[in-house]
Amino acid sequence: MELSVILPAYLEEENLRILLPRVKKTLNALTPANEIIVVDTERAMDGTPQACEEAGATYINRTGSNTYGSAIRSGLAKAQGKHIIFMDADGSHYPEFIKKLWAERENNDIVIASRYIEGGHTENSAVLVLMSKIVNWGYAFFLGLKVKDVSNSFKLYRAEYIKELTLKCDNFDVVEEILYKIIKNHKDCRIKELPFSFKQRMFGETKRNLPLFVLTYIQTLIKLRFFS
C-alpha cells in the first residue's frame, strides 16, 4: 500500500457523499495502491457507513472515545500506506490538492497544506483567523518549529515517522503534538509547506468548542514544552 488517506468524521454524511468520490478519483490517478479510511464515531450516528460503502471507502469506528484524538489514533492503527494523509471530512480540504502533496513525497517527510505562507488563504472569519494565527505563532515560537502553519491537519506524513509515536492528546491539539514529536524524534526531518486555500465547511456545524479549544491548546503547549 502506497498511500492511505484518513478522514475523521463526526456527523459528516452529507459532506462525505460529495467528497469521497472526488478523493477516490484523485487517488486512483496517483497510484492504484491506495486506501481511503473514514473514522466515524464509536457508534454510527448517521448514514456515514452507507456513504462509505457506496464510495468504496473503508469504514471504521473510533475506539476509546468520540474525541478527535481517538479518531486519529484509530485511523493510524488501521492505515497500511507508506505515506499517510489526514484531511477534514467537512469540505474545507479539497481532495484535488492531494496531488500536490503527493508530488513532494520523495524529497520530504512531511508536506503541509499551508494557509500562512505566500499564496495561502483561508475563508474563515477574522476572529477565527486571528485565533489560528496566535496558536500557530505560539507553537512555532515556544517549540522552535520552523513552520508557518502548524495547526492545519491537511498534511502528508512518512508513515514510519508517525506510526512510531505515542499520541496522548484527545482534541484538535493532536495535530500539533504529531508535528512536534516527529521533529523531536527526527532532527533531519524534511518539511515543505505548499500554499493552500482553506474553504468553509460545506454542510453541517463545526465540532470545535472554542473555550475547550483554547484551554487544551494552552495545556498541550505547556506539556510539550516542559514535560515531553
Tens digit of pLDDT for each residue in 63-84? 999 999 999 999 999 999 999 9
Q: What is the biggest distance separating any 2 CA atoms in the chain, rounded to whole angstroms?
A: 47
Instruction: Give CA separation, 14 vs 126, 128, 154, in Å.
Output: 27, 24, 20
Q: Write the Ramachandran bin of 91: left for phi over 0, alpha for psi from -120 to 50, otherwise beta.
A: left
Q: Which of 154, 224, 165, 146 is nearest to 196 (CA)?
A: 154
Using DSSP, how many helices (H) and how many strands (E) does the chain show?
8, 9
Of 6-15, 152-161, 218-227, the poorest mean pLDDT is in: 218-227
CB 83 within 8 A of CB 5: no
Q: Flag whether pLDDT at 44 surpasses 90.
A: yes
pLDDT value for 131: 85
Domains of the chain: 3-227 (3.90.550.10)
CB within 8 Å of 171: residues ≥ 6 apart: 67, 68, 69, 212, 213, 216
pLDDT band at 206, cuts 50/70/90? Answer: confident
pTM given for the model: 0.94
pLDDT band at 107, cuts 50/70/90? Answer: very high
